[in-house]
């Protein structure tokens, strides 16, 4: 399996419901890259995944901003 091709596939196939899992998978794949050139080639897709997660308001752990705020309000 080509790790860069798989990261690219994750980038194009991700959605709001899968973005956190896809980023975690992409990070695992990134760790397998042996050269700086390979890591640089993957950077654009990693940055894109991170940007999508931010735009969609998904926080690490799979929660979006709105439900997290609602949960915090319930605790008060």
How high is the pLDDT of residue 75? 53
Q: Answer yes or no: pTM beyond 0.85.
A: no
Q: Which domain holds residue 54?
A: 3-75
Q: Mind listing the pLDDT tens digit for each residue in 24-74?
A: 999 999 999 999 999 999 999 999 999 999 999 988 875 554 554 544 455
**What is the tally of structural domains in the chain?**
1
- Name the 3-class secondary structure at 39: helix
Nearest to residue 56, comparing CAs of 8, 15, 25, 13? 15
């Amino acid at each position: 399996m080509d790790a860069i091709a798989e990261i690219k596939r994750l980038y194009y196939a991700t959605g709001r419901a899968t973005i956190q899992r896809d980023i975690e998978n992409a990070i695992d794949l990134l760790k397998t890259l042996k050269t700086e050139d390979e890591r640089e080639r993957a950077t654009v897709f990693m940055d894109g995944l991170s940007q999508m997660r931010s735009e969609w308001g998904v926080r690490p752990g799979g929660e979006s901003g709105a439900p997290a705020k609602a949960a915090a309000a319930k605790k008060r």
